[in-house]
Amino acid sequence: MLGFACICKSLNDNGCFKTTTIKYLSKLDKSSQIKKLRSIAVDNLYNTSKILEWCAENGIFLYRMSSDLIPLATYYEDWHWWEDADILKQCDNIKTASQNKGIRISMHPDQFCVLNSEKSNVVENSIKILQYHNRLSCLTGNKLLVLHVGSSAGGKKTAMERFSANFKMLDTDIKTKLALENDDKVFTALDVLGLCETLGIPMVLDLHHYRCRNEGEDLSALRARIIKTWQKKKPKLHLSSGRAYDTDRSHADYITPEDYKMATDFAGNDFDIMLECKEKDLALLRLVK
């Protein structure tokens, strides 16, 4: 099963997400700020359920929700967006749509969520980011948060130990949603697999990151172990093509036929494949065609 992330280019009016900035909001009075934030959140959540409907109509049952549905969610702590009736209604629509249509959803906290940072304020903020994702996940029925290990400061071993220690301090509710993904600069598939096995969480294999960064490990030898980390859930891998060349870390607009074949050969019927490319759903439709 193929899926795509966030933006849906096929939907002109409902396929994208709004946002705002602190700088802009600071020019408004408090009530206008909240009004603006609410309006953006409701629109973004509404668009997400529209995208889910579009997915079902187009035979797509795998989708990653945007992390930026609630604007400035971890900044405006006095704005209790999760107590807003309109927002709750929209979240419930997403939950119902994904469950009724059988769409497997996930989220992927961005680069600012560095749980293993050496800076305590960064760790605290990362936990806030995870709490936000968890809260939104609970309301929308999402059960999977895909994360990178993060910083490599102090060396890989120390950095992974920091990750484990901080992971263990998280709420159980968050821990049961987390999965870890290998990255393209530091933590290899083997590094992340070992960490996932130790922590008892699923591993998302990113094939492009593996291509950019590996220590010669043989993926076919890791395949069964990776699947095992998912227990009864459907394992997932990420696929993208390099923009300018194979190991270019920048993502291309589309997936090359060669990369798609490589991924499907590896995945068989055992893995869902999440596409990461600029043209999103359009790239997926091209592959299916």
Q: Which residues bind DNA (CB under 7 A)?
A: 7, 16-24, 27, 40, 68, 71-75, 110-112, 114, 117-119, 121-122, 125, 129, 150-153, 185-186, 249-251, 278
In angstroms, give the least distance from the CB of 153 to DNA.
Answer: 4
Nearest CB to DNA, comparing residues 185 and 234? 185
Q: Between vectors from CA 164 to CA 162 and to CA 165, what angle results, nearest 5°? A: 65
In angstroms, give the least distance from the CB of 112 to DNA.
Answer: 4
Tokens of 67: 């992390």
In angstroms, give the least distance from the CB of 17 to DNA.
Answer: 5
In angstroms, give the least distance from the CB of 111 to DNA.
Answer: 6
Nearest CB to DNA, comparing residues 47 and 229? 47
Nearest CB to DNA, comparing residues 10 and 264? 10
In angstroms, give the least distance from the CB of 16 to DNA.
Answer: 4
Nearest CB to DNA, comparing residues 21 and 220? 21
Nearest CB to DNA, comparing residues 128 and 223? 128
CA distance 186 to 20: 32
Nearest CB to DNA, comparing residues 91 and 226? 91
Helices 156-168/189-199 angle, 10° precision: 30
Nearest CB to DNA, comparing residues 74 and 264? 74
In angstroms, give the least distance from the CB of 113 to DNA.
Answer: 8
In angstroms, give the least distance from the CB of 224 to DNA.
Answer: 30
Cβ pair 70, 90 in contact under 8 A:
no
Task: Give φ, ψ of 64 to 5 degrees.
Answer: -100, 125
Nearest CB to DNA, comparing residues 37 and 179? 37
CA distance 148 to 151: 9
In angstroms, give the least distance from the CB of 10 to DNA.
Answer: 13
